[in-house]
Chains A and B, each alone.
Chain A
Amino acid sequence: MPLALRVFESEARVYRRVWRGSIFTSFLSPVLYLLAMGVGLGSLVDANLPAGLEGVSYLAFIAPGLLAAAAMQTGAGEGAWKVRAGIKWLRTYHAKLATPIGIPALVNGHMLWIGARVMMVSIAFAIVIAVFRVAPLWQSLAATIPALLVGLAMGGITTAYTVRTNSDPAIPTYFRFVVIPMFLFSGAFFPITQLPGFLQWVAFLTPLFHGVELCRAVMLGTPTAVAPWISVSYLLAFAVVGMALAVRPFRNQLLP
C-alpha cells in the first residue's frame, strides 16, 4: 500500500503542474451542458411536460446525469491517455518499475489517482448544481459517491482496454464508439425508456446508466430501475474486473 501511495503522489505532483489543461473537459464542459441543455432546452421540455420528467424539471433531471457522465468521462480519460503514455510514448512506467515499485503498486496507485480525479471533478460539479438550486448542497455532494463508483468502473475497464490494445488509434476509436454514445444514450439526457426495445437493454447494461440512476436517486429521491445494491455491485464489478484484466498485460509489456 505505501508503494501505491508513492505512485499516487507522483500523479499528484504532475497534476499540480498540468491542471490548467484539464479544466475544460473536467469542469467547464459539464457546466456548459447544464446551461445549454438544462436551461436552454429545458424551458422547452418543461413547457411540454407540465408534470415534469419523472416528476422534476428538465434541469433537475439532467443535473445528476451530467454529474455521473462527467465522472464517467474523467475515469475513461485517465484510464486511456495516461496509460498509453506511461507504457508507450513516454515510458514513465518503466522508470517507476526500476525501483522497488512493482506492478500491483502501479495499478493500485493508478486507480487511487483515478478516484481522486473523479472526486475533484464531481465535487466541483456538485457545488455548481447546488448553486443552480437543483438540490440542496449536501444532497448534491452525497451524489458524488455514486459518481465515484461510475468513474472507477470506467477507469478500470478503460485501463484494461488501453493496456490490451497497443495501437494508437484504438483510443480515439474507443471514445468515438463507446464513450460518446454511452454519454448520450444512457439516461443522462432522457429516460432510456425512450429508446427502441433492444437498445434499452444495451443502455441498461452500461455502467453509466447505473451511475446515472444512483446519482439521480441520491440527489432527487427518484426511484431506480433496479435495486440500488445491484447497481452498486455492477459498478464495483466493472472496476475490479477491469483492474484484474489489466494486470497481466501490464506485466507483459512493462516487464517482458
Chain B
Amino acid sequence: MPDPLITATGLTKHFDDTVAVDGIDFHVNQGESFGFLGPNGAGKTSAMRMIGATSPITGGDLEVLGLNPETDGPALRARLGVVPQEDNLDQELTVRENLAMYGRYFGLHRTVIDERIEELLDFAQLREKADSRVEALSGGMKRRLTIARGLINEPEMLILDEPTTGLDPQARHVLWDRLYRLKQQGVTLLITTHYMDEAEQLCDRLVIMDKGKIVAEGSPRSLIKDHSRPEVVEVRFPVGVLEEIAPRLESLAPRVEILADRALLYTDDANATIEKIHAEGLEPEALLERRSTLEDVFLRLTGRTLDD
C-alpha cells in the first residue's frame, strides 16, 4: 500500500480567540475521493486552506504529497489544483483567457497551455462559450470553469471547497458527473461539503467534522451502518401533539429522535415500524419512509442537523 498523499496529526488552526480546527488526525490515499462533511463553521475550509498551503498551520503536523506546506508552499501549490468556494475568476476576461492566464501562473509554456485548454473546454462543456466573457456565464458555467481552471496544471490532487453550493439541482448533477469522470481517471479528490447527498455521491471515504473536531470517519456506507439503522420512518404531527405522544413513539423503534417539527424512527424494517405506528392508533399528518443518510449519522453524533 503506497504512502498516503496527505497525513495530518493533531492539525490545529487558531484565529485570534477562536479555534477553527482542533487537533484533527486523518490521512488521504492516492486515487481516492475524500470528503470533509460538516455544517458551516465546522472548520472544513480552514483545514483545506492549510492543506493547500494558503493558511499557516497553528499546531500539529501536516504532510501533503511528501512536502511540508509551511516550508514548501510554492512547490506544493504547483502540484495541487484548487477549486475555491467562491468563483474568483477574472470577470472581464473570456473563458479561454482565464484558463490561459491561470496556466501562466504555473509557468506552463503557451503551447502546452493551448493544448490543455482544448481538453478542458470539452471536459467542462464550455466550448461554445470559449470566447465569451466570464460575466456573461451562468452560475453553473462559472463553477465548471473554476473546476476546469483548477486542472490546468494537471494536479496530482484536486481540492474542492463546497463545489455545488448555490447551484440549481440540474447544475449540481452535471458537476457531480464531471467530478465522477475525474475520479475514474485516477485524480485524487478532496472535497468539503455540507450536503450529505454530495458526500454520499462523490466520496469513497469521509470524515464528519463539527466545531473543529472529527467526530467520525469511514465510507458513507460504513458510517451509516455503524451509527444509524438502515431505514428511517419520518412522521409529522400537528403542533403540540408531537410532544404529547413522544413517549408512545419512543417504544416503536430501536432509536427515535424527536425534532422540533417531526420525529425520526430508526429501524431495520420500515414497513414493520409503520404497521406498529398504525397499531398504536396513531395517525400522523404526514409519513414517509426512506433509507438512512449521512445527515442521520451527523444527527446521531452531534444532536444537530447539518444545516444548523
A residues whose Cβ falls under 8 Å from a Cβ of B:
2-3, 6, 9-10, 13-14, 17-18, 90-92, 94-102, 255-256
Contact = CB atoms under 8 A, between A and B. Distances in A.
B107 A2 contact: yes
Contacts of A14: 90, 92-93
B92 A18 contact: yes
Contacts of A9: 101, 104
B123 interface: no
Interface of A is mostly: helix
B140 interface: no
B40 interface: no
Interface in B51-80: 52, 54-56, 73-75, 77-78, 80
A10 B153 CA distance: 17
Interface stretch (B81-89, B178-186, B217-225, B291-299): B81-89
B159 to A, nearest CB: 9
A92 B90 contact: yes
B88 A92 contact: yes
A16 B102 CA distance: 17
Contacts of A98: 52, 54, 77, 80, 82, 84
Contacts, number: 66
Given A10-B90, A14-B90, A255-B55, A99 B97 contact: no
Contact of A100 (B78, B101, B133): B78
A102 B15 contact: no
Contacts of B54: 94, 97-98, 255
23 contacts: A6-B104, A10-B104, A10-B105, A13-B101, A14-B90, A18-B92, A90-B88, A91-B86, A92-B88, A95-B84, A95-B89, A97-B54, A98-B52, A98-B54, A98-B80, A98-B82, A99-B77, A99-B102, A99-B106, A101-B105, A102-B73, A255-B55, A256-B55
A91 B84 CA distance: 11
A13 B105 contact: no
A9 B73 CA distance: 22
A32 B52 CA distance: 50
B166 to A, nearest CB: 15
B93 A17 contact: yes
Contacts of B77: 98-100
B77 to A, nearest CB: 5
Contacts of A91: 86, 88
